Chain A
């Protein structure tokens, strides 16, 4: 017999708000209009529009016991400085962004580099739903049902060479469509990187949607990284380039403030951000803060990647 005790961190069923309640009328109309337009296009990911349902998505056991954050919150409270520094900016300014057509340049130390169209990148793989916790470095968190594909499976297709120790990612540079890129808020374009074994970890995915729908622009359409055991800024959005490299690549926030944002940036309650504690976090939708878990609760899957490393003073 399985007796399941509610953890103090569990959300009570009474706190769950139906998604439909959160979607306001305007968002619904927008979705309806976009879906209507999308219905005329072929139902493949590359032809899909934001708000359009993704078909044939395999369920996975990840995060089944978690309470989803409302889609309204996930799509209106974003750190995506390309569309402006305020949390509300991306949902306001991402409307003109064109996530298709899209292609990703794969280069560096691999046997099969090339410019890959979005469909060719995604369609060989089975779409999966992964319900992950997202922990922002700013001490708030969400639970998001991503739709995506394991990054490791994608990487294998390009046959990285033995000396490719890291994978570097780059966000698209489109100041005309991304208002935040019109001034030097950050050192554009946004870049991030993972160690090869982090990139190959089964938890790491390329996200192309959420809540069963195509990725909204403000969440990093059409394709973004999702690395659930690291702070949110590591999960780079709107990716146009993936490079296999020998040395640790640049990372935008790390360059902006090296002592505040490390290259690894694993979620770590024992390593304070210099300006605030990382011990606790506010789950969006909750009033008081809850405890932050090491590796955002994914220690079992990833802690071994960092065996013997000093994650507090050196490799934070």
Chain B
């Protein structure tokens, strides 16, 4: 199909207009935070550091969940155009996760890497959160076209399945850090369960169809 595309590719609108718009939208939470820090710190409440750290964590989680919505939307709504935004969305999830970790290390730990290591080893919710981040690093690194080519499609795909354990770790990290009100962590975990459940179901159905087709083929041969 691609080969027969006209000179002015239909994807041009996506590339030239939609992508910059989505990029700006994804960056806006960060821009708001930066603006608030500089011009309106009272918007961040009495403990602006805690606010900023949690804010970045929240947005990392939201972007990860949005990234995981891409495949279901593509398949359920027959809207393959969304796939073209997946890399950007995933990289924004990583961007906010990195900011979350950076602010924690800088402002809560004053860059004391020994204390960070102690946290990772001793505190389970930080162990789990760090695990999520570590799982996301290779995905961010290999998000370029060059890496897709180097790894080859199937291997790259397999590697990027790491997003699922990463997302589970993120949900767990959030759940474990809350003291008593678990409603919000449960909502996020519930959404993730739907997103992962969808994949389990569609994959099982696809496998079933394949097996049925094979059985039919065998029967017709017999």
Contacts and interface: CB of A to CB of B under 8 A. Distances in A.
Contact of B123 (A85, A186, A275, A282): A275
A289 B181 CA distance: 26
Interface string B96-129: 0000000000011110000100110011110000
State the main secondary structure of chain A at its contact with B: loop
Interface in B3-23: none
Interface residues of A, number: 28
Given A256-B180, A275-B124, A275-B177, A140 B118 contact: no
Interface stretch (B43-51, B134-142, B158-166): B43-51
Interface in A36-80: 70, 72-74, 76-77
Given A185-B181, A277-B115, A73 B46 contact: yes
Contacts of B109: 289
Given A81-B180, A85-B181, A185-B180, A72 B46 contact: yes
B192 to A, nearest CB: 22
Contacts, number: 54
Given A140-B50, A288-B110, A88 B181 contact: no
A5 interface: no
| Range for the number of chain B residues in contact with chain A | 20 to 34
B183 to A, nearest CB: 9
A81 to B, nearest CB: 7
B50 A282 contact: yes
A289 B176 CA distance: 23
A276 B123 contact: yes
Given A275-B123, A275-B125, A276-B123, A284 B47 contact: yes
- Closest 5 A/B residue pairs (Cβ): A77-B46, A85-B181, A73-B46, A284-B46, A288-B110
Given A85-B180, A185-B180, A282-B50, 14 more contacts: A24-B42, A70-B46, A76-B45, A76-B46, A77-B45, A77-B47, A275-B123, A275-B176, A275-B177, A277-B118, A277-B119, A287-B49, A287-B107, A289-B108
Interface of A: 24, 70, 72-74, 76-77, 81, 85-88, 138, 140, 185-186, 256, 272, 274-277, 282, 284-285, 287-289
